Amino acid sequence: MNIIRRRGWEVAERGVTPEHLVLNRRSLVAGATAMTILPPLAARADVPVNPAFQPGRAVTEEKYATTYNNYYEFSESKNLWREAQALKQRPWSIRLDGMLKQPRTIDIDDLLKQVSLEERIYRHRCVEAWAMTVPWTGFPVSQLLKIAEPLGSAKYVVFETTQDKVMPGLSAPFYPWPYVEGVTIDEAANDLAFISTGLYGKPLPPQNGGPIRLTLPWKYGFKSAKAIVKISFTDKRPTTFWESIGPSEYGFWANVNPAVAHPRWSQASERLLGSDERVPTQIFNGYAEQVAGLYSDRKNEKLFM
Ligand code: MTE
């Protein structure tokens, strides 16, 4: 049973979901019934909204979340959404590898048949101090763990993302491609850790990491790897993409903390995409109640950069 408790900084639900989004979703459902054609399983309009995840902020308008992106395989600029349309979303398969019962390759649509999709509205905080609040469709990483069946000795889950010929940024020699991210098995099993396949009730756009990405709302956005093609299990902590480029600026843990400044800027506040309003940043991006316990035995590590 879900008990919804409103935290001090949360606002009422009517302030969270703009009317046009609700109406748009209703008309999508109505339209789908009339035409008896449903959008792909990745993000159907009839996927249930999980009411346990109240973001306490207005949802960012879709046009901002889908046109201001970080995706270095395409460009260092934020304006890459047109170029990203070239990334084919099907067929798409994911290699499950390393310390698990049976290494194998799984087709994304076969994977989607084995999980329960839901919609969650999460806050997303980039290390560059901009933020958005968006409705993701997807499933908890814990469901993926059940399907993958890692060995008891595995300690980390590593996500590797695609390298495709349509990505001009891959020819930049400076970057250590492929983009790799990782979390501990405990972090992956936390209920907040999510695999997204949809955004705003539609299939996840390529520029936001379609067809499948990680979404870790308590960590800086660079941990949320886009366009995943390989998920492996290991007992060794992986060196992640940004960590290998700038270990003093982008650490492995990367938990959001307003009190720990980036070496080149403050993390005390964030700019909301769309309104450009500046609001205070919350520890663990406001999700401390759900995740702080993951770190109680790791006080000596650099958890917040
Ligand atoms: N994943 C890949 N493969 N390549 C990237 O450059 N950028 C990261 C993350 N995932 C990135 C990535 C960063 S820095 C952020 S803030 C988020 O994606 C941005 O997600 P968004 O564009 O959907 O807002």
| Amino acid at site 171 | S
* Cβ 196 under 6 angstroms from ligand 1: no
- Cβ–ligand 1 distance for 225 under 6 Å, the answer yes
pLDDT at position 134? 98
Residue 205 near ligand 1, beta carbon < 6 Å: no
Question: Atom of ligand 1 at shortest distance to CA of 161?
Answer: 3
Work out which ligand 1 atom sits closest to the CA atom of 199.
23
Q: What is the mean pLDDT of each run of 10 residues along the chain (305 residues)?
A: 38 42 42 42 82 95 98 98 98 98 98 97 98 98 98 98 98 94 98 98 97 98 98 98 96 98 98 98 98 96 95
pLDDT of residue 46: 80
Question: What are the structural domain ranges in the chain?
Answer: 13-294
Any ligand 1 atom below 6 A from CB of 221: yes
**Mean pLDDT of all residues in the chain?**
89
E strand spans, 33-129: 93-98, 104-107, 118-125
pTM for the structure as a whole: 0.89
CA distance 183 to 156: 6
Distance of CA 54 to the CA centre of its chain: 16
pLDDT confidence of residue 173 = 82
Residues paired with 269 in a beta bridge: 280
Give the contacts of 57 (CB within 8 A, at least 6 positions apart): 11, 16, 123, 133, 272, 279
Centre of ligand 1 to C-alpha 32, Å, is 31
Q: What CATH number was assigned to the domain covering residues 13-294?
A: 3.90.420.10
User: Which ligand 1 atom sits closest to the C-alpha of 128?
Assistant: 16
pLDDT of residue 259: 98
How far, in Å, is the centroid of ligand 1 from the Cα of 209? 7
- Residue 80 tokens, joined: 């890459």
Measured distance CA(127)–CA(263) in Å, rounded: 11
- What is the reported pLDDT for 250? 97
DSSP one-letter string for 115-142 = S--EEEEEEEE-TTSEEEEEEEEEEEHH
**Length of the chain, please?**
305
For ligand 1, say whether the CB of 162 is within 6 Å of any of its atoms.
no
Cβ(241) – ligand 1 distance below 6 Å:
no
Cβ contacts of residue 154 below 8 Å, gap of 6+? 98, 99, 100, 185, 233, 234, 235
pLDDT at residue number 294 = 98
- Whole-number Å distance, alpha carbon 223 to ligand 1 midpoint, is 8
Q: What's the pLDDT at 87?
A: 98
